[in-house]
Amino acid sequence: MERAELGRRIYEVAHLTGEFTLRSGVTTDHYFDKYRFEADPVLLEAVAEAMVPLVPAGTEVLAGLEMGGIPVVTALGRQTGLPCAFVRKEAKAYGTCRLAEGAEIAGRRVLVVEDVVTSGGQIVLSTRELRALGADVREALCVIDREQGGAAALKEIDLGLLSLLKAADLG
């Protein structure tokens, strides 16, 4: 499926209007409910297939951020054959007490995978923690870049942002 068609389908399924407060604290009158396209297995598979060419050469592990990045990274892992790590917002206090579950990240080239990027705040926090655990993180890949400062925030920590779609591509 071509990107323009994919953008149209995501918009049809996930675009909502009303009043919404984003994680960044910004209030908006439109919202892309990522869970609506992530819950559609056919659409999610098309998204993952379209993201494959954006995965940088040398990537060893795909790291999906809780919660929206988890279905995306799982579908992308199926398409690429790369192992996945599932990154919590904070390490759990029981069991393995790990921040990143699944594939080992220490000493490996890790691509952070997220669904929607607005300010980039969670990617910045998670990347710092992954790097502290020994991961080599150079880029983040998202389905939708809302183009509201996320790329600039990531650049400040020497992290590139790759995106399948930009806000302008939707609707």
**18 annotated as ligand-binding:** no
To the question of whether residue 23 is assigned a binding role by annotation, the answer is yes
Is 3 annotated as ligand-binding?
Answer: no
* 3-class secondary-structure state, position 108: coil
C-beta pairs of 5-14 under 8 Å, 24+ apart in sequence: 6/46, 6/47, 6/50, 6/164, 6/165, 7/165, 7/169, 7/170, 9/37, 9/43, 9/46, 10/37, 10/43, 10/47, 10/143, 10/144, 10/165, 10/170, 11/170, 11/171, 13/37, 13/40, 13/43
Residue 131 labeled ligand binder: no
117 known member of a binding site: yes
Is 119 annotated among the ligand-binding residues?
A: yes
Residue 69 labeled ligand binder: no
Residue count of the chain: 171
Residue 137 assigned to a binding site:
no
Give the residue carrying structure tokens 């960044």.
24
Q: Is 122 a known ligand-binding residue? A: yes
Query: Half-sphere exposure of 54 toward its Cβ, with a 13 Å CA cutoff?
Result: 23
The reply to whether 116 sits in an annotated binding site is: yes
Q: What would you report as the CA-atom Rg of the chain, rounded to the nearest whole angstrom?
A: 15
- Known binding residue 169? Answer is no
Residue 49 marked in a binding site: no
Binding site residues, as ranges? Answer: 23, 88-89, 92, 114-122, 146
Binding site residues for 5-phospho-alpha-D-ribose 1-diphosphate, as ranges? Answer: 23, 88-89, 92, 114-122
Binding site residues for orotate, as ranges? Answer: 118, 146
